[in-house]
Amino acid sequence: MLCRSVLIFACCAALAVGGSPAVLGEFPWHVSIQLKNFYLTDDLWAHWCEGAIVSREYILTNAGCIYSIHELRVVSSTLDWKIFDMVHNVTEMVRDEVELGRRLSLWKVDPPFEFDNHTRAVQLPARFAESLPGTEMTVSGWGQFMPSEPIDILEKYRAPIESRALCSIRFPGYDWLYHICVDVARNETVCSRRGFGAPLVYNGELRGVFHNKYDCNLPEIYTEVSLFRDWIYRITGV
């Protein structure tokens, strides 16, 4: 039980204060990944990570969100992670195949998603499409302010892409080949940290998946989805 408590602090992060509430159907691909007995309280399930629907059977999220299949579920088509109609069991998890550190994971769900105005797959980027510096993108997520106080309503905010050259100076020795650097400080004046797996989108296209943030004064780090298109297609067929 102690290990799980430690894992909670390592895996969960806070959504940017000052973000605006999302509208139902605005991010129809966004799902809440929930963990059983997460807070060791009377609540049976609690928000664990973010994810994005990529097909009727699969979501894409951070590899760090992987846990026991039997203690996870996926909730779709909702703005409030605690109020929902659609629940999906997790039947399979596949990590990416990058040799120097795992970053992404694809999860198969059952039952499959039923697409409508409030639930559908996110558009995937072209193979090797680059997220250019200065491009303003949108992040959505629930995240958490504290391990015992999850945000109930899905929120969003916009932030520009920072150059890899500048981020390599801010993060000496960090491998930027597979990552996007997002300068939240330009739009948000408070410390913001995301829940693992939060999607970064540009015109409805999934460009990044939240990977990490080390300091309130430093940019956020997302995994560049376009570099994993072959792997995503091989697993999901999309």
3-state secondary structure labels for all residues of 83-137: CCCEEEEEEEEEECCCCCCCCEEEEEEECCCCCCCCCCCCECCCCCCCCCCCCEE
Residues 90 and 145 grouped into a single domain: no
Residues 96 and 33 grouped into a single domain: yes
H/E run at residue 234? helix 229-236
Residues 59 and 112 grouped into a single domain: yes
- Residue 235 makes CB contacts below 8 A (sequence gap 6+) with 58, 94, 106
Residues 115 and 151 grouped into a single domain: no
The total of structural domains in the chain comes to 2
**pLDDT tens for each residue of the chain, 238 residues long:** 333 333 333 333 334 444 688 999 999 999 999 998 755 555 688 888 999 999 999 999 999 999 999 999 999 999 999 888 899 999 999 999 775 456 899 999 999 999 999 999 999 999 999 899 999 999 998 865 444 455 788 988 888 999 888 888 888 777 778 888 888 655 443 455 457 899 999 999 999 999 876 666 678 889 999 999 999 999 999 9
- Structural domain contains residue 16: no
Cβ atoms of 31 and 185 within 8 Å: the answer is: no
Residues 30 and 92 grouped into a single domain: yes
Tokens of 212: 């990490």
What CATH number has the domain bearing residue 54? Answer: 2.40.10.10
- Structural domain contains residue 109: yes
- Structural domain contains residue 20: no
- Structural domain contains residue 7: no
C-alpha 125/C-alpha 208 separation (Å) is 10
- Structural domain contains residue 10: no
Residues 114 and 142 grouped into a single domain: no
C-alpha 107/C-alpha 86 separation (Å) is 16
Residues 90 and 142 grouped into a single domain: no
Q: Output the pLDDT for position 17.
A: 44
Residues 89 and 49 grouped into a single domain: yes
- Structural domain contains residue 17: no
Residues 56 and 106 grouped into a single domain: yes
- Structural domain contains residue 80: yes
- Structural domain contains residue 1: no
Q: How far does Cα 227 stand from its chain's mean position?
A: 17
Residues 159 and 83 grouped into a single domain: no
Residues 104 and 153 grouped into a single domain: no
Q: What is the residue range of 204's domain?
A: 136-226
Residues 158 and 183 grouped into a single domain: yes
